[in-house]
Amino acid sequence: MTKKHFTFLDKLRASGRVNMYAAGAELEAKFGLTRDEARNILIAWMEQVQFVKPIPGRKRGKQTR
């Protein structure tokens, strides 16, 4: 897994083109990865992006409990 994979996923997320849970197939197609390789990269990306990077252009709303 490299920075180019994470950059690709960041841009894909910002585009809103696909649900990020389906982004593994996008990784497979773009980088010629196996399903397992793509899934591992996607999981690592999701772990680091969760609650860290807001989606560009989207305002954060109030959180409710």
Return the minimum-mean-pLDDT range out of 17-21, 30-34, 52-56: 52-56
* pLDDT for 8: 95
**pLDDT bucket at 61, cuts 50 / 70 / 90:** low
User: What does the pLDDT average to over 43-50?
Assistant: 86
29-59 burial, b at 16+ Cβ within 10 Å, e below that, comes to: eeeebeeebbeebbeebeeebeeeeeeeeee
User: What is the overall mean pLDDT for the chain?
Assistant: 84
Q: Say what the pTM is.
A: 0.73
